[in-house]
Structure 1
Amino acid sequence: MVNKEGMLTQKGFDLIQILSKNRILPAITINNVEDALPLTEALLKGGLEVMEIAFRTKAAEASIAQIRKHFPEMTVGAGTLVHTDQVLKAIDSGALFGLAPGFNPRLCQFAIDHKFEMIPGVITPSEIENAYDLGFRILKLFPISQFGGMELLKALNGPYGQLGVRYIPMGGVDIGNFGEYLKDKNVVSVGGSWIASGKLIQAKNFQAIQENVTHALLKIQGTGI
């Protein structure tokens, strides 16, 4: 399928496979569209082919469109989706998937109705069950650190391991603890801003971002997680 900008939307791609391959989903906030392409290039050179652009700034929509146009090999998603109009903007920009910080049944159903791959945020048993009932199999555990970290994940795996859902822990995940989460069989990927922090982007230190990616991926390879 092709959107109005003439870009392939790649519907039908396997998001689980992409997340499983990359293991890290950098959560990125872009304030200036001009940073989108060099940032994406840094991630790709470091070895990552998936990223999330947070819909927290006016530059988000245009940044995603630029990335989709110039780097079709990058699987780019739209993050921090809290309104249905943001879902529409994400789709229009060419985003291949979306993430929400929480579980909003109306927002989730809206994404389903528009055939847009959505990853809702959950943190409680009830939210997991409700998201599962709507058909979601990839769930964002947010904010994981503030709700017990690995202890919460272990507790949830007891009753919900049978469901076959896969988690993306986010919120307080960093270079020091991300490996522990990835050891859990139900964790498909981890998300965090440490790879490409706002400070590094503002300083246009894309080399450091590339090195952060390489360092994290080498750590994964070295521990076999």
Structure 2
Amino acid sequence: MDMVATSWRLTPQSLPLLSPKVKSFRVYSSSSSSSLSLSPIIQKTSSLIQNSGVIACLRANSAELAYEAATAALNGGISVLEIVMSTPGVFQVLRQLVKDYPTLALGVGTALNAEDARNAMNAGAKFFMSPATVKDIMDDVVKDEILYIPGVMTPTEILSAYDAGAKMVKVYPVSALGGVQYVSALKKPFPHIPMVASQGITIDSIGEYISSGASSVVLSDAIFDKGAMTQRNFNVIHQLASLAALEGKEAVERKRSRTTN
């Protein structure tokens, strides 16, 4: 028996009707949170971080030393600075620095719970960071006008933090994980997520990290040299801060130039 091929075409009449119970839906990608509008404060802080390319991380054994060292770094050209929670009088120091440098992005580092976050906000912090993603902070802060940068290590942690509302993440401890190459590898699947590289970074390597995709790098001993801190040699801190700020600015400019060309 011959088989006869019957031509046909898809018409609106041939499509099955949707049941009234079936509702339309939208699919949101993991990058959907990047489209959400940022508050003016978060937007300004984020811009300062990404424009400077450097976040100075200060830890000191006294409030007086912290204030003097921070002042030396800020006067040297640093525009983004965090004071680690373990520093005595951290909120007192932060409050005074915010008064002295109202246009800069000053914050707190190693925030480990919601109380730390609230105290930082009350002291005038524009941002704070953690070595890991702290759920209590994320829940309290996402709806507030302050930038929270949670610490992440793996692709899963990066995506989870971003989907939970993080506008920027901190890759930590980056040197132990592979340094520049690790950041470069992470940026391939997540080009839309701003990343800050943290731990073991030197002034000489700022350019490499920014070129690999990092939005900024965290510098601790590279600016607040242990010997200079012990000797209270604030001139050295000022000089290191100036060098770091210049390296960061130039690295960001080179990166943007390559992007636009």
Q: Aligning the two structures, in what range does the TM-score lie when normalised by the shorter sequence?
A: 0.7 to 0.9
Counterpart pick for 2:233 among 178, 181, 205: 205
Residues 30, 59 of structure 1: 8 Å contact kept:
no
1:155 to partner: Cα distance: 1.9
Amino acid at match of 1:117: L
Aligned to 1:187: 214
Percent of aligned positions that are identical: 26
TM-score by structure 2 length? 0.74
1:220 to partner: Cα distance: 4.7
Deviates more, 1:165-174 or 1:194-203: 194-203
Corresponding residue SS for 1:26: strand
Aligned to 2:96: 66
Corresponding residue SS for 2:57: strand
Aligned to 2:57: 27
Superposition CA RMSD, Å: 2.1
1:41 to partner: Cα distance: 2.8
Counterpart pick for 2:72 among 33, 42, 55: 42
Corresponding residue SS for 2:82: strand
Residues 162, 168 of structure 2: 8 Å contact kept:
no
In the alignment, structure 1 segments of 5+ residues that lack a partner are 1-9
**Gap change, CA 1:67 and 1:217, over 3 Å in 2:** closer
| Distance (whole Å) between structure 1 residues aligned to residue 170 and residue 98 of structure 2 | 23
TM-score by structure 1 length? 0.85
Q: Does 1:176 align with 2:204?
A: yes
Amino acid at match of 1:188: S
In the alignment, structure 2 segments of 5+ residues that lack a partner are 1-39, 256-261
Residues 152, 170 of structure 2: 8 Å contact kept:
yes
| Distance (whole Å) between structure 1 residues aligned to residue 159 and residue 119 of structure 2 | 28
1:113 to partner: Cα distance: 4.3
Residues 67, 74 of structure 1: 8 Å contact kept:
no
Amino acid at match of 1:96: K
How many residues align? The count is 213
